[in-house]
Amino acid sequence: MSTALKDSFTYRELLTLYLGPQWRRVCWLILLLLGGIILQLINPQILRQFIDSAMQGADITPLMLAGALFMGLSLLNQALAVINTYVSENVAWTATNQLRTDLVRHCLQLDMAFHKARTSGELIERIDGDVNTLATFFSQAIVRLFGNGLLIIGVLLLLFKEQWQVGIAISLFALGGLLILVRIRRVAIPYWMKTREKDAEFFGFLGEQLAGTEDLRANGATGYVMTRFYQILRSWLPINIRASLASYGTWGSTLLLFGIGNALALGISIYLWSRHELSPGGVYLIFYYTNLLSAPMEQIRTQLQQLQEAGAGIERIRQLLQAQPTILDGSGPDLPAGALELEINDLTFGYNPDEPVLQGISLQLAEGRVLGVLGRTGSGKTTLARLLLRLYEPQQGEILLGGVPLRQTRLSDLRQHIGMVTQDVQLFHATVRDNLTYFNRAIADKRIIKVLSQIGLVNWYKNLPEGLDTILGSDGEGLSAGEAQLLAFTRVFLSDPGLIIMDEASSRLDPATEQLIERAVDTLLSNRTGIIIAHRLGTIQRADDILIIENGRILEYGPRARLAADPQSRFYQLLQTGLEEVLA
């Protein structure tokens, strides 16, 4: 099910979508529940017979049999409860895992602007925390709410059958008790809502800090972060204490209520017994049934709470689904294979439309040519690369790749045809193979090893303790900056794109690694169109054309050889002064 949970789904649609495929298990769940209810109702009748027969001096054999039957049914009831738990957990996890998958897929399709506006912790809380509250909704709340209602009705009917006065009294108690329980519960809700908000804030903070541990430590900011951490913990504590106290209050008043119920049942039973209208077995039965009511009444209250929590979770999931990607698949033709021609016409873009970051950019890059992009930091070079990948949509102008306007491309097709190496290589805590293929199992090991040797990583590969199965540390731990760059090249090479964008790392590398990288870049660019956002002279030498951006506008654009030979050009001056010094 790749599924399409709409942004305005109803509870019923949610249940049909996620429980529908498991209808067999749900039927089992209902059967197990009904079985459990019947056993709970029958068992006290056996004990009542036992008590009354014993009081009347019955034979030992039928008494033994009744006792054995009672114990057998009790054990069966427990066994049913265990199976019930197994089935309901299965139903819940299957349903919620599917929902998690759908939400992750949805989030991955959303625009970069959406992700930039949220911390990863916040999204984790949405995708996992809220979905967890739905687990009980799927597995228990509805089925058990129904089951508990049925159990209460069954108990009351049997009490009526036993003694109608008792039936009326306990029915009134059950009704009043439920109303009181639901009211008491409402007191605790606002406190629990606050704790969940704080949870989200805390996890958002923690996720961000953990991701930035290296920078935080390097800059000696750990102390400040800890202060902020204490502040959050300090505000978390009283909210949690209040929520727990409110829950405790609810629990205490519930106990009191059931105490009153028991006293009522005992009082009536003793009165009827003293008038010889009830046998001792009958007294036991009434007492037992009244006691039996407390569990479903209490559970109904909890289940209503779970339903409400699920309601809040569903609402937040609905909000998440309402965020729709604005960058959508086009219906245009597939991009041609091989090196791609690039054309940009009068491009204007700003993250905030009122503040353009790029303005009036036009250029043409024939297939197989390499464009070197230069500009000071913040001039808009990376933004240009993001627009080529359609991570953002320009406000004005048009980009054509292989003759196809970007708006008409399918996103997956476009991103298969463009390879990007960023300054900051993202490596995962996974095997070397998965890191290089992005978990694509269709790529054969032989090919990976061949590309590694083409890129110049063959010695590095040979030293891996478990070859391609070696697990990399999170965030490329244990790798040098140069090795991480070369791994990123390998990734791009494996996907065999027609256009390569390289946002060159500005950090300096040792001469040996630099030489390796230079050679790898040559391999990567042969028979491909390339855009290199360059910070080093060595890299810029292989560009056919040069584009210099200043404050989002083209300052200079033309063939490298011509610009390098023109003393009036900015590129010429840059070469004289030294690229690194000017652009650093």
Binding site for ligand ATP (CB under 6 A): 116, 351, 357, 375, 377-383
140/379 with CB nearer ligand ATP: 379
Q: How many residues does the chain have?
A: 584
Neighbours of 248 (CB within 10 A): 11
When the beta carbons of 282 and 356 are compared against ligand ATP, the nearer one is: 356
CB of 398 to ligand ATP, least distance (A): 19
Which residue number, 3 or 377, has a Cβ lying nearer to ligand ATP? 377
Least Å distance, CB 203 to ligand ATP, is 23
Q: How far is the CB of 373 from ligand ATP (least distance, A)?
A: 9
The alpha helices in 212-279, defined as continuous H runs, are 213-218, 222-274
Give min distance, CB of 375 to ligand ATP, in A. 5
Q: Give the Cβ contact number of residue 163 at 10 Å.
A: 19
Nearer to ligand ATP, 382 or 431 (CB): 382
In this complex, which beta carbon is closest to ligand ATP, that of residue 59 or of residue 581?
A: 581
Nearer to ligand ATP by Cβ, of 333 and 578: the residue is 578
The residue among 269 and 382 lying less far from ligand ATP, judged by its C-beta, is 382
| CA 111 vs CA 223, 325, 400, 422: distances in Å | 35, 5, 21, 19
Residue (384 or 404) nearer to ligand ATP, CB = 384
> For residue 555, which phi and psi values (nearest 5 degrees)?
-95, -35
Q: With helix as H, strand as E and coil as C, how does 364-408 read?
A: EECCCCEEEEECCCCCCHHHHHHHHCCCCCCCEEEEEECCEEHHH
311 Cβ contact list (under 8 Å, min separation 6): none
To ligand ATP, the closest distance from the beta carbon of 359 in angstroms equals 12
Kindly state the smallest distance separating residue 510's Cβ from ligand ATP, in Å. Answer: 22
Contact 316, 197 (CB under 8 A): no
Strands 499-503, 529-533: pairing kind: parallel
Q: How far is the CB of 580 from ligand ATP (least distance, A)?
A: 13
Alpha carbon separation from 223 to 207, 217, 226 (Å, rounded): 17, 9, 5
CA atoms within 13 A on the CB side of 198: 19
Bridge partners for 559 per DSSP: 545
- Residue 505's φ and ψ, nearest 5 degrees, are -70, 135
Q: How far apart (Å, rounded) are the C-alpha atoms in residues 430 and 557? A: 42
Minimum CB distance to ligand ATP, residue 111 (Å): 11
Sequential DSSP letters for 48-107: HHHHHHHHTT--HHHHHHHHHHHHHHHHHHHHHHHHHHHHHHHHHHHHHHHHHHHHHHHH
Q: Shortest Cβ distance from residue 355 to ligand ATP (Å)?
A: 8
Reference 166, options 176, 155, 180; nearest CA is 155
Rounded Cα gap, residues 489 and 498, in angstroms: 14
Residue 22 or 383 with smaller CB distance to ligand ATP: 383
Q: How far is CA 392 from the centre of its chain?
A: 23
Q: What is the CA radius of gyration of the chain?
A: 35
Q: Give 317 or 357: the residue with its C-beta nearer to ligand ATP.
A: 357
Token pair of 341 as six digits: 């021609």
Between 383 and 569, name the residue whose CB sits nearer to ligand ATP.
383
CB of 540 to ligand ATP, least distance (A): 14
CA distance 476 to 436: 12
Nearest approach, Cβ of 357 to ligand ATP (angstroms)? 4
Q: Which is nearer to ligand ATP, 22 or 382 (CB)?
A: 382
Nearer to ligand ATP, 112 or 260 (CB): 112
Looking at the Cβ atoms of 52 and 111, the one nearer to ligand ATP is 111
C-alpha–C-alpha distance, residues 36 and 230, integer Å? 49
Can you give 484-506 as a three-state secondary structure string?
HHHHHHHHHHHHCCCEEEEECCC
CB 552 to ligand ATP: min, Å = 7
Smallest gap from Cβ 126 to ligand ATP, in A, equals 21
Alpha carbon distance 248, 192 (integer Å): 13
Q: What is d(CA 381, CA 372) in angstroms, rounded to the nearest whole number?
A: 11
Minimum distance, C-beta of residue 212 to ligand ATP, in the bound complex (Å): 17
